[in-house]
Amino acid sequence: METNAFSQSYNLGGLIAEHRANPKAQKESLLAGWGLIAVGAIFAIIGLAVSKGEWPDLLIAAAGLPVALIGVFALLGRQRRRDLCVRLFTDGFTRTLGGQTVAVRWDDVTEVWQNVIETYRGSAHTNTTYIYTVRLADGRKFVFNNQVDKIAGLGAAMQKACAERMFPRARAACDAGESVAFGPFAVSRIGLSAGGKTLPWEQVERVELRRGVLHVMQKGQRRDWAFAMASKIPNLPVLMALANQNSPKR
């Protein structure tokens, strides 16, 4: 009933997908929380047991307090995320957290940022952390990370929905002679700009994303003409689409 009410009230359209709290992350928060509380208690017990009223012993006992508090906050955060749910609709999304549900239309989104962090141990891949930040025209910000189940799919779906609405506006602005900013880059009818310089489209060899870094290659050059971390570029799919449209086909 609540989902239907929000969908109708904000004209969000039909429900596409639902992403709840990541059960693995919730379990890890539970273990980490109680583990930190236990470590803090051990520090306090040892410090008090050996204490003779001297400062070094009392400091050992006191050191357990902040450790235990971190564990308490971890458990409180886990409790708050028990009802976490992000629902995707054709024209927007809702986020439920801590008993409160907020609705957002795709048309109100101005920026989507992605930060994908790959973790390796030696040459073996061990983990991938996803962070997607959505900013609205009214200044509000929503951050989605691995606490959400199937976060990679959620982030990709959000980027796609927003890009489909942003790309026509960005293309129209370029066609009208304006420059559209994407963090360290700017796109215009003339070319791609970065660091105070502009590379005409006819000189663009390719624009590609590799391992979290956007590379801009100039024809006839081996080194990057410009590059930037993907996490520093808002609306990256829109920038890629504009570059693909304007760059000469190889």
- pLDDT at position 50 is 64
Q: Does residue 116 lie in a domain region?
A: no
202, part of any domain: yes
Within-domain flag for 233:
yes
Mean pLDDT of 116-137: 90
- Give the number of domains in the chain: 1
pLDDT confidence bin for 191, thresholds 50/70/90? very high
Residue 204 has pLDDT above 70, yes or no: yes
In the beta sheet, which residues pair with residue 121? 124
Inform me whether the pLDDT recorded for 186 exceeds 60: yes
| Helix axis angle, 23-50 to 55-80, nearest 10° | 160
User: Is 41 domain-assigned?
Assistant: no
Q: What are the two backbone dihedrals, phi and then psi, of residue 219, each rounded to the nearest 5 degrees?
A: -60, 135
Q: Hey, what long-range contacts does 226-232 have (CB within 8 A, 24 or more apart)?
A: 226/184, 226/185, 226/192, 226/194, 226/195, 226/199, 228/183, 228/184, 228/185, 228/194, 230/114, 230/115, 230/116, 231/113, 231/114, 231/115, 231/116, 231/131, 232/183, 232/184
Of the ranges 2-6, 79-83, 128-132, the best mean pLDDT one? 128-132
Give the model's pLDDT for residue 1. Answer: 47
* Structure confidence at residue 184 (pLDDT): 95
Return the SS3 of 146: coil
Which domain does 200 fall in, by range? 177-246
**How far is the C-alpha of 228 from the C-alpha of 174, rounded, in Å?**
22
Residue 25 in any domain: the answer is no
Model confidence at 48, in pLDDT bands (50, 70, 90)?
low
φ/ψ (deg, to 5) at 210: -135, 120
219 falls within a domain: yes
Q: Is residue 36 a part of any domain in this protein?
A: no
Kindly state whether residue 64 falls inside one of the protein's structural domains.
no
For residue 250, what pLDDT band results from cuts at 50, 70 and 90? low
